[in-house]
Each structure stands twice: as C-alpha cells, then as structure tokens.
Amino acid sequence: MIQRVLDLDSSPPAALSLRFFLTAPLFAALAGAVLLWDGDAAFASRWTPAVLAATHLLTLGVLTMVICGALLQLLPVVAGRAIPCAALSARMLHVPLTLGTLLLAGAFWRAAPPLFALALAPLLLALTWLLVACGAALWRAPPAAAAPMVGALRLALAALAPTMLAGAAMAAALAWQRAPALLALADLHAMWGLLGWVGMLLIGVAWQVIPMFQATALYPAAVTRVLGVLVPLLLAACTVAQLAAPALAAPLRALLFGAFALFALVTLSLLARRKRPAPDSTTLYWVLSMASLLACVPAWYAPLGGAARPLLLGVLFVAGFALSAINGMLYKIVPFLLWHHWQEHGFGKPVPGIRQVIPEARAFAQFGSHALALVLLALAARWPAPLLRPAALALIGSNLLLALNLLRALRCGHAALRIR
C-alpha cells in the first residue's frame, strides 16, 4: 500500500539532506561549463573527454547526490527505518562523493591517469557506504511500509552494485593503462547505472511522491507489480544477451524501453487527471520528464548518423528524464523540509507557508530556463556547431538559478538554517 501520510516524527534533521541538495546544482553548472569550454568539439562523439566529464558530473554530482539526500529523508518517514548513524552517513556520503566526482570528471576531461587512481578511493567509499547503509535500512523495512516504493528502491540499490563494479574496473584500467574490454564494460555500466540505478529509483519515488504531492490517484497495483518484476528481469536478460547472445539483445532492449514507456504513459495519465487543476512548477517538471522518457523510444530508432543518436539519447534520458524529475522533486522536498523544521523549532515569528518558501514565479522562471537548455542540448546533438555553446550557457544559467532559489529558501522565515 502506498502511503499518502508520512511519519514526520521519524524525520532526521533537515540539514543532513540540504547539503546534498545545495551541492547538486553547482555540479550541473560545472557540467555546462565543461561543454562551454570545449564547444562543438565536445559533441564529436559520445566518447569525447568533455562528454564523459559532463556525463559523470551529472550522474554522480547531481543525480546520485540528490538521491543520497532524498534517501536520508525518505527511508525513515516512508519505509519506517532510518539509515544507521544518519549524521555520520551524511558526511561519509557527501564529502567523498563530492571529491571523487570532481577527480573523476577532471580525469576524463584532462585524460589524466593519476586522477582516475585518486578518484577511485573516495567514490568507492561513498558508494559502498550508500549500499551498506541504505541496504541495512531497506531490508529491515516492515512489509506494510510503502511496499511498491520500498521494493523499487531495493532493486535500484541492487543495480548500483554492478554499476559501481563496472565503473571501478574501467577507472582502474584507465589509471594503470590496462586494456580490458572497455566498450563492453561501458555499455553495461551505462545500462545498469541509468536504467537500473537511476531509472528504477525514480520510478519507485514517483510511485510515492506523485500521488502525494500532485494529488493524483494511486498508480494501478498491476503496473507497480509488473514494472517491479519486468525491469530488473529485462536488465539481467539484456546483460546475458550482450555477453553471450547478441542476436537477442535488440528485442530485449525494445521490451525494456517498452517498460519505461509504460511507466511514462501511466504517469502522464495520472497527471492529466490530477485533482488540482492548476499545474505548479513540479507538475511541469514531471510532464517534461515523462515526455523526454517517451522521446527516447523514437530517438533510439531514428535514422541519425554519426554521434547524433547516442548523444540525443543521453540528453533525453539524463537531462530530460532524470534531471527534470530531480529538479521537480527539489521544489517540493526543500520547502517541505524547511517548513517542517521551522514548525518544529520556531523562531518567534509566524512560520511561512510552504508555497512562500520558494515562490512559484521563481520556480516557473527556472523551469523555463531548464526547458530551454534541454531543447538546445537535444538539437545540438544534430547541429553542435551553432547550438552547443548556447545550450551550455542555458544549462549553466538554469542551475545557477536553481541554486539561487534554494539559497533564498534558506533565508525564508528570517532565520538561517545551520548546516553542520
């Protein structure tokens, strides 16, 4: 049963998660800066140093960063189990993840083998800590606690393990200049990281937060059951096919895309029938996210030559689907955390309402800049020379605006929230 009411008494201090949320937009802006510096040469291939650096700045520095902060809050209030030693876990996740992501992006961008070696230790520390700490909480969750979401989070966490192992093997090979099958490892790393870790986690979170915050009906139980089984099975089958039976890989991938398309169509249907007629910025972000996810299907089969098709797919999935959903969630999670903190502690003045923490006008303005960046990046996959630098500038501007909106939220209520 999906919960509509959260157990807020179990919520850890807001500061534990806010450090992750405030860091993430800066990594996205840094990804834009890398693309801006290299210009259209960055989109010559999916393997250019700038694309690899920007991709990992987004996937580790933004997506995984926000996921860590969200899990610190979600697991106690939804699953009924806190991450062990939450304050220590927050530090052991945030600091090495930040350092390791910067080192890894620098290693890709500057083609510097020593930086790959330096990046391995902090990233393995952070991701292993995440696996152990969140795994301990998720596997002890009571059976009745938001069962579809908890099941999806368990699967996403399980997908992080092969993602991490394949990534570590490639980083070690690049650090010590060995030559394993990097291309095959890279494809497996991307599939398990994007579709398993990020994709399955966002699906599970959507099952909880869209009915709760968007005032929609619950996801049909049949859909949550089917996707909860189908996606991991297809990921495993695609892995086996890629390694042992390449002829089966294409139809299995088509089924996997179909599973994600089903999720997107059901989500759009729920949002279209939401009980609140006027959409807020988060609604628009979810619509853009689902539209981008659906667009991945025709993009996969589009007759685009050279690097255009893989680059377009990466833009649609990472910046369109995942980053849009993350942005939308931040506009709900951060105001709610701050409002709950002020309600609990008070500051001798009336507590601002949730909608006052980040005014919708500012959120809509940032949504517009994000949508512009996404459109320009998608078009730049085909026409990089005239469009990649404007796209990079839009990406930088959008995320600096998001960071500014989040910082302004901290000052709301005439009190500063101390992040320790």
* The token pair that represents 36 in the structure block: 């801006």
pLDDT given for residue 302 in this prediction: 84
Give the integer Cα–Cα distance in Å for 93 and 191: 23
pLDDT given for residue 353 in this prediction: 60
pLDDT given for residue 414 in this prediction: 46
Domain assignment present for 420: no
What is the domain extent for residue 367? 8-411
Domain assignment present for 417: no
Domain assignment present for 349: yes
Per-residue pLDDT of the chain (420 residues; tens, 9 = 90+): 444 455 555 567 788 889 999 999 999 999 999 999 999 999 999 999 999 999 999 999 999 999 999 998 888 877 667 787 888 999 999 999 999 999 999 999 999 999 999 999 999 999 999 999 988 888 776 655 557 888 888 899 999 999 999 999 999 999 988 766 687 789 999 999 999 999 999 999 999 889 988 889 999 999 999 999 999 999 999 999 988 888 888 899 999 999 999 999 999 999 999 887 778 899 999 999 999 999 999 998 888 888 999 999 999 999 999 999 999 999 988 888 887 766 666 555 555 666 667 888 999 999 999 999 999 999 999 999 999 999 999 999 999 999 999 998 887 644 444 444
Domain assignment present for 416: no
Q: Considering its fold, how many domains does the chain have in total? A: 1
Residue type, 72: L
CATH number at residue 29: 1.20.210.10
**What pTM did the predictor assign?**
0.93
- Give CA 41 to chain center in angstroms: 26
Domain assignment present for 369: yes
Domain assignment present for 2: no
Domain assignment present for 1: no
Domain assignment present for 236: yes
> Could you tell me which residues come within 8 angstroms of residue 156 by beta carbon, excluding any fewer than 6 positions away?
196, 197, 198, 199, 200, 201, 204
